[in-house]
């Protein structure tokens, strides 16, 4: 037996790998030793790849060699990608805000094309309310949409308005370059129209520019709406935002190498270095990373402040998400082909690796597709992509896979959930494969800059979903068919030697693909605008009494409140009192729209605001975005092995969660009492079974549904005007769900009855 055989195929080898995995698990549990965790995980990955090359590549014929070699190269890509991840995660820099010794002038530029003016208004209010001397910064609207409404809004708020007289060329980069020529501030702060800066943004970032060599200061992108994975799979905050890994972990690691780059929004740049390189770069459609690379090549430095100081919107639809990622992929590949960081003069070795690693990532589509369909070679055509004993494959593959999954949460400081990277990449792999091939086929062709749609109201559109997900559906069908045929071959003993491996591999791919497909199934969005999760106190006034509340989330249209017990008013109108950041009391008029009990026994009430003037709206926007403290709490996660297991369970359960279930606006409590249902034609004795503030369920003898219009429900001391919603038959009786339209008699008793029964429940 050779040394290589001893290293890769004996119990000694298995024992050493088991020790490495145990060490990783122990370090993860204790939340320490990030470099050891990374090193051991990379070592197990490298061991698997070497074993694959030495023992599993098929050599039966030319076809099997081509298929096996292609699959192996796809897996080798994964090792390279994990190596870049290890390098960028090795030693993240954790900066603190630099003190301000002087106050340079700042031009705050908000770029807009045709996005909703409500988003622009929010962003401008956030820009104008900076904790920075008011005479030292100017806010500009950079409008490539040439809209009179945008110009009027800028004038109303006291902002500058800049638009290009000629046809807009070079998209966002051209828009910014035009503004550079029209302004003179020492520093340039850039925000997309959907990104709203918090009050301390300038105060905590400007101090870094005391170093005259600093050209870029970037902050993380924080998103207040769920991404398409969180929303369409209904996993919410159980899974971190898909972009959190880059902004909360990798950028901090790049900062150690002086290669953190401007991310297009939420960053500051010094004017003079920008002018030295000719402004924002227009040769590619990703002006942010290309501009940063040229600044670094000129010898300038960058700083990354890993602190949330602004909040923005993720694309609300799968179509918008793919449009954004395809633009990023195309732009990064353009950078590689036109201004390769590996050969660019002026970059350090570390910067070359970091920039190339960021570009290299966007080639993942092709390897993902190859690994996704690889089992079909064996299942459909009896040509296995690898020859391996299933025990040895389990030993080598799963040891590194489990190790990397365990390492993910602590190494990324909670910003990436284990097992979810596979789902993210499977959802994008077909679209990004096409983009990569298109870019490589025509590297010099000019590509249009497609603006990512934001501020959309999502509606169900099955035809659009099928158009986007058809490659996934076709692959899903092929995997199903392949697995059926493979099981039959296994039962009859007619399959190839690699059939058991391909069956397992195909099953795992089918599970992941199923989850990824549900990402394209849009969950309708009821609200026009998302609410921000907040936590501050307020007071609710109604019917001459007040109740203390906590505001859980809020936007300009409404808020969710936490109260100790349910409240009731016949008109559903309330006054919500808030304290502004300046300490003044603001009264908001609203309607009580829903109430529901939480497992802790408290009540969540929904309020819709009515008749708000502009100053009041500005106060609400400031309450929404002004204080960034609570945003940081969402990233304070203590990762561990149990958390990794929960992440896997969330992934497996997500397709089931993605189905929409109808919920009542006012959950009902059980309350049984005799009643009488009066219709225009009959009067029936019945039994009230449950009730809410807005609806009831009544059991009566059989009655035609057409005779229920204009009904009254008479209870002890209370008379309600009701309208039917649905009817069901049960035990020779009819159960009717009614909506309460108004209270004809006994409003006080109706309110007291509800409050009593809610407390009992």
pLDDT digits (tens, 9 = 90+) for 441-496: 887 777 777 777 666 656 666 677 778 889 999 999 999 999 999 999 888 887 77
> How far apart, in whole angstroms, are the C-alpha atoms of residue 417 and residue 227?
14
Q: Which residues pair with 586 in a beta bridge?
A: 578
pLDDT score, position 221: 95
Least confident of 166-170, 328-332, 470-474, 742-746: 166-170
pLDDT score, position 739: 83
Pairing mode, if any, of strands 733-745 and 669-678? unpaired
Percentage, residues of the chain above pLDDT 90: 47
> How far apart, in whole angstroms, are the C-alpha atoms of residue 142 and residue 163?
6
706-727: pLDDT as tens digits: 678 788 999 988 999 988 888 8
- Per-residue pLDDT, averaged over 671-691, amounts to 88
pLDDT score, position 706: 65
CATH fold of the domain at 669-760: Thrombin, subunit H (2.40.10)
- Residue that wins the pLDDT comparison between 222 and 533: 222
> How far apart, in whole angstroms, are the C-alpha atoms of residue 308 and residue 334?
30
304-332: pLDDT as tens digits: 999 999 999 998 888 889 999 999 999 99
Least confident of 87-96, 217-226, 409-418, 646-655: 646-655
Is a pLDDT exceeding 60 seen at residue 563?
Answer: yes
In degrees, rounded to 5, the angle at the alpha carbon of residue 610 between the alpha carbons of residues 604 and 612 is 115
Pick 532-627's CATH classification: 2.40.10.220, 3.60.10.10, 1.10.10.10, 3.30.365.10: 2.40.10.220
Is a pLDDT exceeding 60 seen at residue 5?
Answer: no
Is a pLDDT exceeding 90 seen at residue 566?
Answer: no
Q: What is the pTM of this model?
A: 0.85
> How far apart, in whole angstroms, are the C-alpha atoms of residue 259 and residue 289?
10
In this prediction, residue 12 has a pLDDT band, given cuts at 50, 70 and 90, of low
Is a pLDDT exceeding 80 seen at residue 138?
Answer: yes
Residues 6+ apart with CB under 8 A from 147: 114, 117
pLDDT score, position 81: 95
Asked whether 333 and 474 are in contact (CB, 8 A), the reply is no
- Per-residue pLDDT, averaged over 99-113, amounts to 96
Kindly name the residue from 144, 194, 354, 622 that is annotated as catalytic.
144
Is a pLDDT exceeding 90 seen at residue 199?
Answer: yes
In degrees, rounded to 5, the angle at the alpha carbon of residue 752 between the alpha carbons of residues 746 and 758 is 135
Task: Count the neighbouring beta carbons within 10 Å of the beta carbon of residue 59.
Answer: 9
- Per-residue pLDDT, averaged over 635-664, amounts to 61
Residue among 734, 608, 746, 750 at smallest CA distance from 665: 608
Pairing mode, if any, of strands 214-218 and 267-270? antiparallel
pLDDT score, position 239: 81
Residue 655 tokens read as 């397709």
pLDDT score, position 659: 59
Kindly name the residue from 194, 255, 288, 489 that is annotated as catalytic.
288
In this prediction, residue 691 has a pLDDT band, given cuts at 50, 70 and 90, of confident
In degrees, rounded to 5, the angle at the alpha carbon of residue 273 between the alpha carbons of residues 269 and 276 is 140
Which of the residue ranges 158-167, 572-581, 721-730 has the most confident prediction, judged by mean pLDDT? 158-167
In this prediction, residue 662 has a pLDDT band, given cuts at 50, 70 and 90, of very low
Residue 288 falls in the annotated catalytic set: yes
381-404: pLDDT as tens digits: 989 899 888 778 877 888 888 888
What are the angstrom distances between the C-alpha of 725 and each of 160, 571, 695, 737?
Answer: 53, 21, 9, 5
- Residue that wins the pLDDT comparison between 193 and 543: 193
Pick 106-222+236-314's CATH classification: 3.30.70.260, 3.90.550.10, 2.60.40.420, 3.40.50.300: 3.90.550.10
24-78: pLDDT as tens digits: 888 887 778 889 999 999 999 998 999 899 889 998 889 999 999 999 999 999 9
pLDDT score, position 700: 87
Residue 467 tokens read as 């158009």
Is a pLDDT exceeding 60 seen at residue 640?
Answer: no
Which of the residue ranges 404-408, 425-429, 448-452 has the most confident prediction, judged by mean pLDDT? 425-429
- Per-residue pLDDT, averaged over 736-743, amounts to 84
Q: Which residues pair with 734 in a beta bridge?
A: 700, 729
Q: Where in the chain is the domain with CATH 2.40.10.220?
A: 532-627, 669-760
Is a pLDDT exceeding 90 seen at residue 591?
Answer: no
Residue 414 tokens read as 């909670």
Q: Where in the chain is the domain with CATH 3.90.550.10?
A: 106-222+236-314
pLDDT score, position 525: 65
Residue 643 falls in the annotated catalytic set: no
Q: Which residues pair with 594 in a beta bridge?
A: 606
> How far apart, in whole angstroms, are the C-alpha atoms of residue 738 and residue 324?
46
């Amino acid at each position: 037996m050779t040394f290589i055989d001893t290293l890769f195929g004996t119990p000694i080898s298995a024992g050493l790998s088991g020790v490495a995995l145990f060490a990783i698990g122990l370090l993860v549990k204790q939340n320490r030793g990030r470099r050891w965790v990374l090193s051991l995980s990379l070592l197990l990955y490298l061991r698997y790849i070497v074993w694959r090359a030495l023992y599993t590549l098929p050599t039966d014929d030319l076809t099997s060699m081509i298929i096996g070699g292609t699959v192996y190269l796809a897996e080798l890509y994964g090792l390279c990608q994990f190596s870049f991840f290890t390098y960028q995660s090795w030693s993240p820099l954790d900066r603190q805000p630099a003190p301000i010794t002087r106050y340079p002038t700042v031009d705050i530029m908000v770029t807009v094309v045709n996005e909703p003016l409500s988003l622009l208004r929010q962003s401008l209010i956030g820009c104008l309310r900076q904790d920075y001397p008011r005479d030292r910064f100017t806010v500009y609207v950079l409008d490539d949409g040439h809209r009179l409404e945008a110009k009027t809004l800028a004038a109303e708020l006291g902002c500058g308005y800049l638009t290009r007289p000629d046809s807009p060329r070079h998209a966002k980069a051209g828009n910014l370059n035009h503004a550079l020529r029209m302004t003179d501030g020492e520093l340039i702060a850039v925000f997309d129209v959907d990104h709203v800066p918090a009050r301390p943004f300038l105060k905590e970032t400007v101090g870094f520019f005391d170093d005259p060599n600093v050209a870029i200061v970037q902050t993380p992108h924080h998103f207040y709406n769920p991404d398409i994975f969180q929303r369409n799979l209904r996993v919410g905050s159980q899974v971190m935002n898909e972009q959190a890994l880059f902004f909360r972990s990798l950028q901090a690691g790049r900062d150690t190498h002086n290669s953190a780059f401007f991310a297009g929004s939420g960053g500051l740049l010094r004017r003079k270095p920008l002018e030295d390189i000719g402004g924002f770069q227009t040769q590619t459609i990703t002006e942010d990373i290309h501009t940063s690379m040229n600044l670094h090549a000129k010898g300038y430095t960058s700083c990354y402040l890993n602190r949330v100081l602004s909040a923005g919107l993720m694309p609300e639809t799968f179509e918008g998400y793919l449009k954004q990622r395809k633009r990023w992929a195309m732009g990064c590949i353009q950078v590689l082909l036109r201004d390769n960081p590996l050969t660019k003069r002026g970059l350090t070795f570390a910067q070359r690796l970091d920039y190339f690693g960021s570009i290299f990532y966007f080639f993942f589509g092709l390897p993902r597709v190859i690994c996704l369909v690889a089992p079909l070679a064996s299942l459909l055509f009896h040509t296995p992509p690898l020859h391996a004993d299933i025990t040895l494959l389990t030993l080598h593959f799963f040891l590194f896979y489990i190790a990397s999954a365990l390492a993910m949460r602590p190494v990324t400081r909670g910003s990436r959930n284990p097992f979810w990277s596979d789902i993210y990449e499977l959802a994008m792999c077909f679209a990004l494969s096409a983009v990569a091939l298109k870019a490589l086929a025509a590297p010099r062709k000019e590509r249009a800059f497609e603006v990512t749609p934001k501020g959309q109201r999502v509606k169900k559109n099955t035809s659009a979903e099928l158009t986007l997900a058809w490659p996934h559906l076709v692959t899903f069908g092929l995997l199903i068919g392949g697995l059926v045929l493979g099981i039959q071959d296994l039962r009859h003993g007619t399959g190839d030697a690699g059939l058991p491996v391909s069956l397992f591999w195909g099953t795992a791919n089918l599970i992941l693909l199923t989850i990824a497909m549900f990402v394209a199934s849009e969950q309708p969005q009821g609200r026009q605008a998302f609410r921000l999760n907040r936590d501050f106190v307020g007071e609710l006034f109604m019917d001459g009494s007040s109740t203390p509340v906590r505001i859980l989330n809020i936007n300009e249209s409404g808020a969710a409140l936490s109260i100790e017990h349910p409240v009731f008013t016949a008109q559903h109108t309330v006054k919500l009192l808030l304290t502004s950041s300046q300490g003044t009391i603001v009264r908001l008029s609203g309607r009580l729209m829903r109430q529901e009990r939480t497992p802790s026994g408290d009540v969540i009430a929904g309020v819709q605001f009515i008749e708000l003037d502009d100053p009041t709206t500005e106060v609400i926007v400031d309450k929404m975005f002004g204080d960034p403290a609570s945003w940081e709490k969402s990233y304070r996660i203590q990762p561990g092995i149990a958390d990794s297991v929960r992440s896997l369970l969330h992934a497996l359960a997500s397709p089931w969660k993605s189905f929409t279930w109808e919920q009542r606006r006012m959950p009902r409590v059980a309350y049984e009492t005799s009643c009488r249902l009066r219709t225009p034609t009959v009067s029936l004795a019945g039994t009230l079974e449950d009730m809410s503030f807005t609806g009831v369920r009544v059991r009566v003898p059989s009655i035609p549904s057409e005779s229920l219009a204009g009904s009254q429900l008479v209870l002890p001391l209370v008379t309600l005007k009701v309208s039917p919603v649905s009817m069901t038959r049960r035990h020779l009786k009819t159960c009717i769900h009614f909506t309460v339209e108004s209270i004809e008699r006994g409003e006080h008793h109706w309110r007291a009855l509800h409050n009593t029964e809610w407390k009992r429940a």
